[in-house]
Chains A and B, each alone.
Chain A
Amino acid sequence: MAASNMKDIKRRIKSIESTMQITKAMQLVASSKLRKAKERADNARLFFDTLYETMCEISKNAPEFSSVYTKKREIRTVLMIVIAGDRGLAGGFNSNILKLAYRRAKEISETGKTVEIVAIGKKSVEYFEKREFTVRAKYSEIAEGMDIYDASDIVDTIMGHYSNGLCDSIELFYTSFLNTLTQEPKSYVLLPLEVDKNRHDGKATSLTEYEPSAEAVFDSIVPRYISGILFGAVVDSFAAEQAARRTAMESASDNAGEIIGELQLVYNRARQASITQEITEIVGGAQVQN
């Protein structure tokens, strides 16, 4: 009994050790990917902040024009862009953002509006394919090598839908990387555009010249701005995914280490017990002979 028990414990320790090796390796991979992703997210931020500022300035200085992107119309169809990871094993990362998006989708459809989904990331695609909403477009395995042109391609398609009236509002769902321990699922209304006219509190520099015209500049900036946001969101999400995975794998490795320690203790006790028993048996046998 004791011998087979010991064998079982040895086997469990072995199996947990190999699991720990995997979780440790994944943790290392995630932290090196995280470093790169963070750098990318930081670099992208400067660009889009400046772009947003320019957009606000234009709309402030030339308030009389109306663009198809800022005009509010009756909302019948809402397009939701949902960004999740391509892989699992990242703690609550995927389920948090998908649940948030799903709740919102339910909420919208209960008010009688149609919901359509653009799924980015394999987990998001898999999730919404099984749900009751139409998936307009799906993109898997693009987050890691994503560049601004990929983002523009996606946005071109979406903007086409918007201009043709196939959808009246666009919402974006992604996970924002706050720091290595916190990632926050976020949602954001992309279109119709809400331009903050009070952002520049300086005097209206209405002497600015626009070429060819303020409207043309604005309309050319908007798609670029949106693809910028999408690019930023994908990059941000990717960084968040790596951070989540790193934390999850770190605690998995810690737990594995703890279990191994406990098992080792149980194993030692079992070993000790079997030795004691053997001695008792030998001593008992010797006594009987005498």
Chain B
Amino acid sequence: MSATFRLKVITPQKLFFDDETENVIVRTTVGDVGILAKHIDYVAVLPAGPLKVKMKDNTFRVAAVSSGTLKVSKEGVVILATAVEWADEIDVEHAKRSEEDAREKIKIHKSGVEFDRAQLKLKRALNRLSVSKNR
């Protein structure tokens, strides 16, 4: 087993994940990034996207992140996200509904702000749907 590091995934609702891992792959605004132990200090912005964590049994567990920040330091890796869900915990029906809802809102938007919000919502819904296929 190769070197591990501590990964914490924190949301306003709870401490989502807090354990040792070998490898974590996240989507940042400039592309997918894989983090291994002893990575250089690093901070990046995360849009809605998948998060892959290598578990103890050497498989990757996938989760959907909806916007956040990644911080790598000597103490470990911290991911701060507004919401995170494991692929197998995603409520697909709910995600589909919010996708339709967001598309509807994009159609009838009245202002730029409303459009931006609806678009972000659509991205979050699509991300959850695509991640949920990884269960």
The interface of chain A, by Cβ under 8 A from chain B, is: 40, 43-44, 46-48, 50-51, 54, 58, 148-149, 152-153, 156-157, 160, 205, 207-212, 214, 216-217, 220-221, 224, 228, 231
Contact = CB atoms under 8 A, between A and B. Distances in A.
Contacts of B28: 211
A33 B59 CA distance: 41
B38 interface: no
Interface of B: 10-15, 28-30, 40-45, 67, 69, 71, 73, 78, 80, 82-83, 113, 117
B43 A208 contact: yes
Contacts of B43: 54, 58, 208-211, 214, 217
Contacts of A207: 40-41
Contact of B42 (A157, A160, A208, A220): A208
Nearest to B71: A54
A183 to B, nearest CB: 22
A211 B12 contact: no
Contacts of A217: 43-45, 69
A18 B43 CA distance: 60
Contact of A46 (B10, B29, B44, B83): B10
B13 A43 contact: yes
Given A148-B12, A156-B113, A211 B40 contact: no
7 contacts: A54-B69, A58-B43, A149-B82, A156-B113, A157-B113, A205-B41, A205-B73
Contact of B45 (A47, A160, A205, A216): A216
A153 B117 contact: yes
A211 B80 contact: no
Contacts of B13: 40, 43-44, 148
Given A153-B117, A211-B28, A224-B67, 4 more contacts: A47-B80, A50-B80, A208-B43, A217-B69
Nearest to A211: B44
Interface of A is mostly: helix
A62 to B, nearest CB: 10
Given A210-B44, A224-B82, A50 B29 contact: no
A50 B15 CA distance: 12
B123 to A, nearest CB: 13
Contacts of B67: 224
Contacts of A149: 82
B113 to A, nearest CB: 7
Contact of B30 (A156, A205, A211, A224): A211
A207 B40 CA distance: 8
A51 B69 contact: yes
A6 B40 CA distance: 85
A54 B117 CA distance: 26
Contacts of A216: 45
Contacts of A157: 113
B135 to A, nearest CB: 24
A160 B113 contact: yes
B73 to A, nearest CB: 7
A212 to B, nearest CB: 6
Which of A207, A208, A214 has the largest count of B CB atoms less than 10 A from its CB?
Answer: A208
